[in-house]
Chain A
């Protein structure tokens, strides 16, 4: 099925390691409003990509920064 581009949120983060990824995995995996997510640890911006119909960028940023990571929405 084609992903609706309007439901995709893109963030730059400073999450660099698998261990750090696991910390946010717990948060994101258990959030029912998140349909799918992934983080590109290979990328210089450690891009976090989230598919959600209802969440806003600010809510994601709050979740991630609460774990002491940097997180900023990347705009087009």
Chain B
């Protein structure tokens, strides 16, 4: 009688994420994953029907975790400043605590699986953020701009800082460590750009 071994499943998931980051989707194989997770190929195929199924499931799970983190202590009725700062905090926390998941998410969402994974995992989040955006414009706390412009200005600078942090250095190769002063300084500039 086979039973679900959640411990083993978790190991497989973590190894799969690491392998996807290291090898990319093309280089990823179920056989390799089984070997690295010290389980048989048969066991792996009991959990996942094939590589396609595994990638989709892993992607959706990361997306859901990401969404849960983003939604923490956040409400679309918050003031624009408060809400956006909360989004920054949540994104920083997720990026720093789950760097491998973030890298894997980037690999998957920029692949042919991207659309499917985003649709399945981030739908609720999109609705919440859409209503935050709409409320903020209505309250005249945010200038009416396209979503793409909004995203680029609101989060682009944050992701640049997070990239420096991940690499431990800035663009010139000098050492970099993310701190609250840099975060707040950057946030204030972003706010200045987005508020009327």
Contact = CB atoms under 8 A, between A and B. Distances in A.
Contact of A45 (B1, B31, B49): B31
A16 interface: no
Contacts of A12: 41
Given A6-B1, A38-B50, A44 B42 contact: no
B92 interface: no
Contact of A43 (B1, B3, B30, B39): B30
A47 B41 contact: yes
Nearest to A74: B42
Nearest to A51: B49
User: What 5 A-B pairs have minimum CB-CB distances, sorted nearest first?
Assistant: A74-B42, A40-B50, A5-B2, A10-B42, A10-B45
Contacts of A10: 41-42, 45-46
A40 B1 CA distance: 25
B3 A49 contact: no
Contacts of B30: 40, 42-43, 47
B177 interface: no
B45 A47 contact: yes
A49 B31 contact: no
B40 interface: yes
